């Protein structure tokens, strides 16, 4: 990593869990699927994906369906996919706001609220992207 490589820091609302991601993410997106809606309690979930080598976290998390959250305050944080060597981090869990990462993909747009416009320049998928 060069000295100019950005390191982005984040964590849960209560501060028990902290994490960092180094360098630029592999992809950035939003998902409108019903699982992401329920899990976040919001109408969409915004995320960015890094290589697990560029990610570190501290503090105890609990996991539901591969999605990590803080057991103390309930903040939804990230999904570690060790098999795929990637971690999907929720953009709202980073300290910096606005974060400045722009989505390049938009998933499950058939579940998008009608008052939300498609994100300009982001590839639109009716459901999950083709494998
Ligand atoms: Zn917490
Ligand atoms: Zn989803």
Q: Does 1 score more than 60 pLDDT? A: no
Please count the structural domains in the chain: 1
Chain Cα centroid distance, residue 128: 16
The pLDDT, as a whole number, for residue 12 is 98
Q: Could you tell me the distance, in angstroms and rounded to a whole number, from the CA of residue 109 to the centre of ligand 2?
A: 10
Rounded average pLDDT over 87-99: 97
Decide if 130 is inside a domain. Answer: no
The pLDDT, as a whole number, for residue 110 is 98
Average of per-residue pLDDT values in the chain: 96
Decide if 46 is inside a domain. Answer: yes
Q: Which numbered ligand comes closest to the C-alpha of 44?
A: 2
| Domain limits for position 54 | 7-124
Decide if 66 is inside a domain. Answer: yes
Decide if 26 is inside a domain. Answer: yes
For residue 83, give the CATH number of its domain.
3.90.1590.10
* Band of pLDDT at residue 131, cut at 50, 70 and 90: confident
Q: Does 33 score more than 90 pLDDT? A: yes
Q: Could you tell me the distance, in angstroms and rounded to a whole number, from the CA of residue 22 to the centre of ligand 2?
A: 24
Which residue bears the tokens 């390049």? 104
The pLDDT, as a whole number, for residue 35 is 97
Q: Could you tell me the distance, in angstroms and rounded to a whole number, from the CA of residue 36 to the centre of ligand 2?
A: 4
The pLDDT, as a whole number, for residue 5 is 79
* Distances from the Cα of 28 to the Cα of 13, 57, 64, 124, angstroms: 22, 20, 22, 13
Rounded average pLDDT over 108-130: 97
Q: What is the pLDDT of residues 40-78, one digit of tens each?
A: 999 999 999 999 999 999 999 999 999 999 999 999 999
Dihedral through CA 124, CA 35, CA 11, CA 95, nearest 10?
A: 30
Question: β-pairing, 45-51 with 55-58?
Answer: unpaired
Decide if 109 is inside a domain. Answer: yes
The pLDDT, as a whole number, for residue 13 is 98
Decide if 98 is inside a domain. Answer: yes
The pLDDT, as a whole number, for residue 24 is 95
| Nearest alpha-carbon partner for 42 in 91, 97, 88 | 91
Alpha-carbon distance of 48 to 23, in angstroms, equals: 12
Decide if 1 is inside a domain. Answer: no
Decide if 131 is inside a domain. Answer: no
């Amino acid at each position: 990593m060069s000295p100019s490589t950005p390191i982005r820091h984040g964590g849960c609302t209560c501060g028990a869990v902290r994490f960092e991601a180094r360098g630029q993410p592999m992809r950035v997106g939003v998902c409108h699927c019903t699982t992401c809606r329920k899990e976040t309690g919001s109408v969409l979930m915004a995320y960015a994906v890094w290589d697990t080598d560029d990610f570190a976290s501290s503090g105890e998390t609990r996991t539901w369906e591969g999605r990590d959250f803080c057991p103390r305050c309930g903040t939804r944080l990230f999904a570690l996919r060790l098999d795929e060597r990637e971690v999907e981090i929720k953009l709202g869990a980073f300290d910096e706001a606005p974060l400045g990462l722009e989505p390049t993909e938009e998933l499950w747009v058939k579940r998008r609220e009608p008052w939300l416009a498609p994100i300009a320049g982001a590839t639109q998928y009716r459901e999950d992207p083709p494998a």
